[in-house]
Chains A and B, each alone.
Chain A
Amino acid sequence: EAGVAQSPRYKIIEKRQSVAFWCNPISGHATLYWYQQILGQGPKLLIQFQNNGVVDDSQLPKDRFSAERLKGVDSTLKIQPAKLEDSAVYLCASSLSDGGNEKLFFGSGTQLSVL
Protein backbone atom coordinates (compact mmCIF):
# COMPACT_ATOMS: atom_id res chain seq x y z
CA GLU A 1 0.00 0.00 0.00
CA ALA A 2 1.42 3.38 -0.97
CA GLY A 3 1.82 5.80 1.90
CA VAL A 4 1.13 9.50 2.19
CA ALA A 5 3.30 11.37 -0.29
CA GLN A 6 4.63 14.84 0.38
CA SER A 7 6.84 17.19 -1.57
CA PRO A 8 9.22 18.85 -1.44
CA ARG A 9 11.22 17.13 1.27
CA TYR A 10 13.13 20.28 2.16
CA LYS A 11 12.62 23.95 1.40
CA ILE A 12 14.73 26.98 2.28
CA ILE A 13 13.32 30.46 1.66
CA GLU A 14 13.84 33.99 2.86
CA LYS A 15 11.30 35.74 5.02
CA ARG A 16 8.46 37.42 3.14
CA GLN A 17 8.75 34.90 0.32
CA SER A 18 5.97 32.46 -0.56
CA VAL A 19 6.09 28.69 -0.40
CA ALA A 20 3.74 25.82 -1.20
CA PHE A 21 3.66 22.22 -0.04
CA TRP A 22 1.90 19.33 -1.71
CA CYS A 23 0.33 16.21 -0.24
CA ASN A 24 -1.21 13.12 -1.80
CA PRO A 25 -3.01 11.01 0.80
CA ILE A 26 -3.53 7.27 0.78
CA SER A 27 -6.08 6.28 -1.83
CA GLY A 28 -9.59 6.14 -0.41
CA HIS A 29 -8.82 8.19 2.68
CA ALA A 30 -11.51 10.80 3.12
CA THR A 31 -9.81 12.84 5.79
CA LEU A 32 -6.63 14.83 5.28
CA TYR A 33 -4.72 16.79 7.90
CA TRP A 34 -1.92 19.35 7.85
CA TYR A 35 0.18 19.60 10.98
CA GLN A 36 2.98 21.99 11.88
CA GLN A 37 5.77 20.58 14.03
CA ILE A 38 8.20 23.12 15.45
CA LEU A 39 11.48 21.75 16.76
CA GLY A 40 11.04 20.40 20.29
CA GLN A 41 7.26 20.43 20.14
CA GLY A 42 4.55 18.00 19.17
CA PRO A 43 2.62 18.34 15.93
CA LYS A 44 -0.02 21.07 15.93
CA LEU A 45 -3.09 20.71 13.73
CA LEU A 46 -3.37 23.49 11.17
CA ILE A 47 -6.29 22.28 9.11
CA GLN A 48 -8.42 19.17 8.67
CA PHE A 49 -10.37 18.29 5.53
CA GLN A 50 -13.17 15.78 5.15
CA ASN A 51 -13.21 15.10 1.41
CA ASN A 52 -12.97 18.64 -0.02
CA GLY A 53 -14.60 20.42 2.92
CA VAL A 54 -12.86 22.00 5.88
CA VAL A 55 -13.67 20.37 9.23
CA ASP A 56 -11.34 22.41 11.44
CA ASP A 57 -9.05 25.32 10.63
CA SER A 58 -9.20 27.04 14.00
CA GLN A 59 -5.40 27.02 14.42
CA LEU A 60 -4.54 28.06 10.88
CA PRO A 61 -3.04 31.59 10.73
CA LYS A 62 -5.37 32.67 7.97
CA ASP A 63 -3.64 35.97 7.33
CA ARG A 64 -0.72 34.09 5.80
CA PHE A 65 -1.60 30.40 5.52
CA SER A 66 -4.06 28.86 3.10
CA ALA A 67 -4.87 25.30 2.12
CA GLU A 68 -7.09 23.66 -0.41
CA ARG A 69 -8.23 20.19 -1.38
CA LEU A 70 -10.31 20.99 -4.42
CA LYS A 71 -11.05 17.51 -5.73
CA GLY A 72 -11.08 15.80 -2.37
CA VAL A 73 -7.83 13.98 -3.05
CA ASP A 74 -4.51 15.80 -2.96
CA SER A 75 -3.96 19.04 -1.12
CA THR A 76 -1.69 22.08 -1.10
CA LEU A 77 -0.69 24.24 1.84
CA LYS A 78 0.62 27.72 1.10
CA ILE A 79 2.38 30.32 3.21
CA GLN A 80 2.44 33.88 1.91
CA PRO A 81 4.42 35.73 3.15
CA ALA A 82 6.61 33.51 5.32
CA LYS A 83 7.97 34.60 8.68
CA LEU A 84 10.98 33.32 10.59
CA GLU A 85 8.70 31.56 13.09
CA ASP A 86 7.21 29.46 10.30
CA SER A 87 10.38 27.35 10.26
CA ALA A 88 9.10 23.88 11.06
CA VAL A 89 8.29 20.49 9.62
CA TYR A 90 4.93 20.45 7.88
CA LEU A 91 3.30 17.06 8.14
CA CYS A 92 0.45 15.75 6.07
CA ALA A 93 -1.62 12.85 7.34
CA SER A 94 -4.68 11.00 6.19
CA SER A 95 -7.27 8.64 7.63
CA LEU A 96 -10.24 6.70 6.34
CA SER A 97 -12.70 8.97 8.12
CA ASP A 98 -12.81 11.61 10.82
CA GLY A 99 -14.45 9.51 13.47
CA GLY A 100 -11.94 10.54 16.11
CA ASN A 101 -10.78 6.98 16.63
CA GLU A 102 -9.13 6.54 13.28
CA LYS A 103 -5.49 5.74 12.84
CA LEU A 104 -3.61 8.52 11.09
CA PHE A 105 -1.04 7.74 8.44
CA PHE A 106 1.66 10.37 8.22
CA GLY A 107 3.89 11.44 5.38
CA SER A 108 7.58 12.15 5.79
CA GLY A 109 6.98 15.87 6.04
CA THR A 110 8.43 18.97 4.45
CA GLN A 111 11.15 20.67 6.46
CA LEU A 112 10.89 24.44 5.95
CA SER A 113 13.66 26.82 6.91
CA VAL A 114 12.87 30.53 6.73
CA LEU A 115 15.98 32.72 6.77
Chain B
Amino acid sequence: AQSVSQHNHHVILSEAASLELGCNYSYGGTVNLFWYVQYPGQHLQLLLKYFSGDPLVKGIKGFEAEFIKSKFSFNLRKPSVQWSDTAEYFCAVTNDYKLSFGAGTTVTVRA
Protein backbone atom coordinates (compact mmCIF):
# COMPACT_ATOMS: atom_id res chain seq x y z
CA ALA B 1 0.00 0.00 0.00
CA GLN B 2 1.13 3.50 -0.74
CA SER B 3 2.22 5.56 2.25
CA VAL B 4 3.26 9.13 2.82
CA SER B 5 5.78 9.94 5.54
CA GLN B 6 6.38 13.31 7.09
CA HIS B 7 9.50 13.32 9.19
CA ASN B 8 8.75 16.06 11.67
CA HIS B 9 5.71 16.06 13.91
CA HIS B 10 6.26 19.53 15.34
CA VAL B 11 8.65 22.26 14.28
CA ILE B 12 9.21 25.43 16.29
CA LEU B 13 11.18 28.30 14.84
CA SER B 14 11.57 32.07 15.01
CA GLU B 15 10.44 34.60 12.45
CA ALA B 16 12.84 35.02 9.51
CA ALA B 17 14.22 31.52 10.00
CA SER B 18 14.23 29.13 7.08
CA LEU B 19 11.82 26.22 7.00
CA GLU B 20 12.12 22.82 5.38
CA LEU B 21 9.58 20.05 5.91
CA GLY B 22 10.37 16.57 4.72
CA CYS B 23 7.97 14.31 2.81
CA ASN B 24 8.62 10.86 1.38
CA TYR B 25 6.26 8.48 -0.34
CA SER B 26 6.49 4.78 -0.99
CA TYR B 27 4.89 4.34 -4.41
CA GLY B 28 7.25 3.97 -7.36
CA GLY B 29 4.92 4.74 -10.25
CA THR B 30 3.64 8.00 -11.62
CA VAL B 31 2.43 10.24 -8.83
CA ASN B 32 0.99 13.69 -8.34
CA LEU B 33 2.25 15.55 -5.29
CA PHE B 34 0.65 18.18 -3.12
CA TRP B 35 1.18 20.22 -0.01
CA TYR B 36 -1.91 21.34 1.86
CA VAL B 37 -1.98 23.75 4.78
CA GLN B 38 -4.44 24.24 7.61
CA TYR B 39 -4.20 27.55 9.45
CA PRO B 40 -5.67 27.72 12.97
CA GLY B 41 -9.45 27.70 12.79
CA GLN B 42 -9.52 27.36 9.02
CA HIS B 43 -10.09 24.51 6.60
CA LEU B 44 -7.46 22.66 4.62
CA GLN B 45 -6.30 24.49 1.52
CA LEU B 46 -3.85 23.80 -1.28
CA LEU B 47 -0.39 25.32 -0.92
CA LEU B 48 1.21 23.93 -4.08
CA LYS B 49 1.19 20.92 -6.38
CA TYR B 50 3.44 19.04 -8.79
CA PHE B 51 2.29 16.98 -11.79
CA SER B 52 5.13 17.15 -14.29
CA GLY B 53 7.83 19.38 -15.71
CA ASP B 54 10.12 21.52 -13.57
CA PRO B 55 10.64 19.61 -10.31
CA LEU B 56 10.90 22.88 -8.38
CA VAL B 57 7.39 24.10 -7.78
CA LYS B 58 6.45 27.49 -6.42
CA GLY B 59 3.27 27.96 -4.44
CA ILE B 60 1.46 30.67 -2.57
CA LYS B 61 2.92 32.78 0.23
CA GLY B 62 6.55 32.22 -0.79
CA PHE B 63 6.55 28.45 -0.39
CA GLU B 64 8.26 26.11 -2.80
CA ALA B 65 8.78 22.37 -3.00
CA GLU B 66 11.23 20.19 -4.85
CA PHE B 67 10.38 16.82 -6.31
CA ILE B 68 13.35 14.43 -6.25
CA LYS B 69 12.20 11.29 -8.00
CA SER B 70 15.26 9.23 -7.08
CA LYS B 71 14.63 9.92 -3.40
CA PHE B 72 10.82 9.63 -3.55
CA SER B 73 10.73 13.00 -1.83
CA PHE B 74 8.78 16.23 -2.10
CA ASN B 75 10.16 18.56 0.55
CA LEU B 76 8.56 21.91 1.31
CA ARG B 77 10.69 25.00 1.86
CA LYS B 78 10.36 28.66 2.71
CA PRO B 79 13.47 30.87 3.03
CA SER B 80 12.08 33.21 5.69
CA VAL B 81 8.98 32.37 7.72
CA GLN B 82 6.52 34.77 9.26
CA TRP B 83 4.37 34.43 12.34
CA SER B 84 1.38 33.94 10.03
CA ASP B 85 2.92 30.72 8.72
CA THR B 86 1.96 29.01 11.96
CA ALA B 87 -0.19 26.13 10.75
CA GLU B 88 -0.34 22.42 10.14
CA TYR B 89 1.18 21.24 6.88
CA PHE B 90 0.18 18.04 5.09
CA CYS B 91 1.97 16.34 2.25
CA ALA B 92 -0.31 14.34 -0.06
CA VAL B 93 0.25 11.99 -2.97
CA THR B 94 -2.10 10.65 -5.61
CA ASN B 95 -1.80 7.46 -7.55
CA ASP B 96 -4.70 5.90 -9.44
CA TYR B 97 -6.70 9.00 -8.53
CA LYS B 98 -6.59 8.24 -4.82
CA LEU B 99 -5.18 10.99 -2.61
CA SER B 100 -3.27 9.86 0.49
CA PHE B 101 -2.11 12.27 3.19
CA GLY B 102 0.84 12.20 5.52
CA ALA B 103 0.32 12.62 9.26
CA GLY B 104 1.07 16.32 9.12
CA THR B 105 3.67 18.65 10.62
CA THR B 106 2.67 21.37 13.04
CA VAL B 107 4.76 24.49 12.50
CA THR B 108 4.89 27.11 15.22
CA VAL B 109 6.58 30.40 14.37
CA ARG B 110 7.56 32.56 17.32
CA ALA B 111 7.45 36.31 16.85
Contact = CB atoms under 8 A, between A and B. Distances in A.
B49 A43 contact: no
B interface residue count range (under 10 / 10 to 19 / 20 to 34 / 35 or more): 20 to 34
Given A41-B104, A56-B98, A106-B45, A100 B32 contact: yes
A99 B97 contact: yes
A100 B90 contact: no
A42 B4 contact: yes
Nearest to A44: B101
Contacts of A103: 46, 49
B90 A43 contact: yes
Interface in A78-115: 91, 93, 98-101, 103-104, 106-109
B71 interface: no
Contacts of A108: 42-43
A98 B43 contact: no
B75 interface: no
Interface of B: 4, 6, 32, 36, 42-46, 49, 51, 90, 92, 94-104
Interface of A: 3-4, 33, 35, 40-45, 48, 55-56, 91, 93, 98-101, 103-104, 106-109
8 contacts: A41-B104, A42-B90, A45-B100, A100-B94, A100-B96, A101-B49, A104-B44, A106-B44
